[in-house]
């Protein structure tokens, strides 16, 4: 439905209705489009470290980065390997956060039988 993952991320960021003052947690290791989509809304990307085994964001670091201004988490499934999506979805549920999956590198890759990028949303 979009011509690129960059466009999809920018559309997703708009749909999150982000605005200046909002914080969005993103992984420190990703393609620049992940963070740029957040910056274009005026919100602040908050970078968290990744795990050596998945190269995706570390759920423990996500938890540490949460503040009252956190609105969303943009996760990245790196090189076809799922990040800690279940733990991050649980955190998002507990803190009422939106989750956007950047699955640009997840084509034809699956987590528990579900295509990366299609993990059910919490809203
Ligand atoms: C993790 C990640 N997100 C977003 C993009 C952007 O995708 P596109 O080149 O389709 O805009 C890429 C491209 O390599 C990527 O690796």
pLDDT, one tens digit per residue, over 75-85 is 999 999 999 99
With a 6 Å cutoff on the Cβ, whether 12 touches ligand 1 is no
The string of pLDDT tens digits covering residues 23-71 is 999 999 999 999 999 999 999 999 999 999 999 999 999 999 999 999 9
For the CA atoms of 57, 62, 93, 44, the dihedral, rounded to the nearest 10 degrees, stands at: -100
- The count of structural domains within the chain is 1
Q: Give yes or no for residue 10 CB within 6 A of ligand 1.
A: no
Asked, for residue 122, whether it belongs to a domain, the answer is no
Asked, for residue 75, whether it belongs to a domain, the answer is yes
Q: Evaluate: CB of 104 within 6 angstroms of ligand 1.
A: yes
107 CB neighbour count, 10 Å cutoff: 11
Q: Does 14 map to a domain?
A: yes
How far apart (Å, rounded) are the C-alpha atoms in residues 71 and 15? Answer: 12
Q: pLDDT averaged over the chain?
A: 96
Residue 105 sits in a domain of what CATH number? 3.40.640.10
Indicate whether 123 belongs to any domain.
no
In this prediction, residue 120 carries a pLDDT of: 80
Q: What is the mean pLDDT of residues 1-15?
A: 96
Range(s) of the domain holding residue 109? 5-115
Residue 83 Cβ inside 6 Å of ligand 1? The answer reads no
Burial of 47 from C-beta contacts in 10 A (0-12 / 13-18 / 19+): middle
């Amino acid at each position: 439905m979009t011509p690129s993952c960059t466009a999809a991320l920018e559309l997703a960021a708009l749909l999150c209705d982000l605005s200046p003052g909002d914080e969005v947690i993103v992984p420190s290791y990703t393609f620049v489009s992940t963070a740029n989509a957040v910056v274009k809304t005026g919100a602040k990307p908050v970078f968290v470290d990744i795990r050596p085994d998945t190269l995706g964001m570390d759920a423990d670091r996500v938890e540490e980065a949460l503040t009252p201004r956190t609105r969303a988490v943009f996760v990245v499934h790196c090189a076809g390997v799922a990040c800690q999506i279940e733990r991050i979805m649980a955190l998002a549920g507990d803190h009422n956060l939106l989750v956007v999956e950047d699955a640009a590198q997840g084509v034809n890759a699956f987590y528990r039988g579900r295509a990366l990028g299609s993990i059910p949303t919490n809203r």
